[in-house]
Structure 1
């Protein structure tokens, strides 16, 4: 896959490890992959004070150098209806990237590096049972016309997780065997290993895109947008269902011109075979006061765009969190303008949902 980052995202020097995770085959394989890393036993992957109390200005080092190895406890499935029909039990939590707007950073405090879960067999078995109980999808919806779709990467980026273990390969292999279900994950990464997973159309990759100038400021440690776009045809040829996320839409002076340029770059890169089936999600920026305070310590330039009280209002999310979103009446107008621009530039791109 062309355009992979030249500097490795990971230089694992310490692994916080639950003993139960180390005893599982996948946990042992992950530890063997990083033999020089210091191993630090912990009772719970959720309770690691050193990760919660890190130096606010040293935000990126833990993401590059630290890995947590744990056992996923809850194996429930949550209805979704937007990106997927269900949110599946995650095989990881946290991320090596540092997108300035990302809610995942709030889960464990401070930088929240990757936690990889070693009980992959239990997660796979729970997913297979859930799909079997559902049976055939009774009618199409905006998620998919025929298959139940499971979001596999709600709390991380599976393109990066695939650098750590075979969990992602195993997920892709599972969905090859489920006639009524597909896996799905969003990514800002470019990982050539994914091309060898043989998804056979049963895994959907949603590549997150924004104008390159914005991404250089906000998508810290993510693959360049140009590399993400270049990867799309390769992923399609490898057998993935490829969609795009225009996310988040961050408003600033000249936003329509820079998004129009992105749409043109995407149109130029996509082969004709991909265009009729292309679908997209459009997600306007959501921010959070706690994340704002965290960002001020390590990346204040991002906050000049993300923290806009003159344009934003508080709104409680479905999970009960209080977030900042663009003021409702203005947001509706801006979202309509965005969709009109998209329809004019990429008329074949269907918007699955927008909010």
Structure 2
């Protein structure tokens, strides 16, 4: 954990569940913000002030609010895409405000950082689950040798690491597991991660898109050029580093701008990182509820994200009706994207694309 907060956080209110102060991690976090107002809540999920506020409060809540809770469920979900399993999360929500973020449409109007303070229980559950799996019987697209656990499905752990030592503790757990790796995607540059000594047992997937798109859609995130530079530092620090091209948002000239991004990567990455580089490619998924939310605070983003002329309804695994690019066109565009990637970064293996 860094001593100072990143500029996108200025914690003034802390909503906390009753049990938080009985945990050492809860007391540590509260001590970092002695001037913040403490507001007791029954549940980190049910905070009307955050779910029903005005659209103008959206970014203010992300900057000024922290939620502390206790993780109740310790279930593991099979995945098969980014990871073999989705692990119990150590956090939920984010101080960043990507216009396409699915967490916002699941959690409510605002989704500031929510940290779970019972990190020892989460780490112990991870160790037990990995022990039960034993050796991975055969390679798959996730990893040829290890079981991989996604640790940050509903947030950004690089940013969480500026609030508490939860991420340091998670990296330490996987350092000691012979058959498992942790994994998370990020859009934030946090140099504190470089001191965690992961020893190749934590995979960081750097999320990237062309810089002009990111300036419009990746609100409050690290600039793309900084993310690319940080990839090399993370690799030198002992992380397995991959890349997450997500979401692929289509507009006129998309092949040229993505080609430029691939060229930037090729110029910036050291040879050792290039030889182990793998990618995920995720085409844009949107949602009517998120569309309405964005119209209230960031309508320019919707000019690119809300394209009914190119999109169709599709029910997700979770039962929600989302908008995705129409199937025949999506297949063609995805094939063109992969061909462009193979031409510019021939060493970059595509782990999965959808």
User: C-alpha separation between the residues in 1 aligned to 2:297 and 2:57?
Assistant: 7
Q: SS of the counterpart of 2:55?
A: coil
User: C-alpha separation between the residues in 1 aligned to 2:20 and 2:75?
Assistant: 19
Provide the residue aligned with 2:273 in structure 1.
Answer: 274
User: C-alpha separation between the residues in 2 aligned to 1:228 and 1:33?
Assistant: 27
1:97 aligned onto 2:105 = no
Provide the residue aligned with 1:45 in structure 2.
Answer: 44
Q: Which runs of 4+ in 1 moved over 3 A?
A: none
C-alpha deviation, 1:234, in angstroms: 0.3
User: 1:134-149 to 2 correspondence within 5 Å?
Assistant: 134-149=133-148
Provide the residue aligned with 1:159 in structure 2.
Answer: 158
Unmatched 5+ residue regions in structure 2? none
Q: SS of the counterpart of 2:45?
A: coil
User: C-alpha separation between the residues in 1 aligned to 2:318 and 2:23?
Assistant: 32
- Does structure 2 conserve the Cα–Cα contact (< 8 Å) formed by 1:18 and 1:69? yes
Q: SS of the counterpart of 1:107?
A: helix
1:220 aligned onto 2:222 = no
C-alpha deviation, 1:7, in angstroms: 6.5
CA RMSD of aligned residues (A): 0.9
After superposition, the C-alpha distances for 1:88-123 in whole angstroms (9 at most, x for unaligned) are 000000000000000011232112101100000100
User: C-alpha separation between the residues in 1 aligned to 2:206 and 2:194?
Assistant: 15
* Aligned residue pair count: 350
TM-score with structure 1 setting the length: 0.98
Provide the residue aligned with 2:177 in structure 1.
Answer: 178
After superposition, the C-alpha distances for 1:112-165 in whole angstroms (9 at most, x for unaligned) are 101100000100001100000000001000000000000000000000100110
Provide the residue aligned with 2:285 in structure 1.
Answer: 286
Q: SS of the counterpart of 2:56?
A: coil
User: C-alpha separation between the residues in 1 aligned to 2:17 and 2:171?
Assistant: 26
- Does structure 2 conserve the Cα–Cα contact (< 8 Å) formed by 1:209 and 1:244? yes
After superposition, the C-alpha distances for 1:54-85 in whole angstroms (9 at most, x for unaligned) are 11133100000000000011100000000000
C-alpha deviation, 1:273, in angstroms: 1.1
Q: SS of the counterpart of 2:205?
A: strand
Unmatched 5+ residue regions in structure 1? 1-5
C-alpha deviation, 1:22, in angstroms: 1.9
- Does structure 1 conserve the Cα–Cα contact (< 8 Å) formed by 2:63 and 2:95? yes
After superposition, the C-alpha distances for 1:196-250 in whole angstroms (9 at most, x for unaligned) are 0000000000000000000000000000000000101100000000000000000
- Does structure 1 conserve the Cα–Cα contact (< 8 Å) formed by 2:6 and 2:162? no
1:88 aligned onto 2:87 = yes
User: C-alpha separation between the residues in 2 aligned to 1:154 and 1:7?
Assistant: 21
User: C-alpha separation between the residues in 2 aligned to 1:159 and 1:335?
Assistant: 29
User: C-alpha separation between the residues in 2 aligned to 1:130 and 1:179?
Assistant: 13
User: C-alpha separation between the residues in 1 aligned to 2:75 and 2:110?
Assistant: 26
- Does structure 1 conserve the Cα–Cα contact (< 8 Å) formed by 2:150 and 2:184? yes
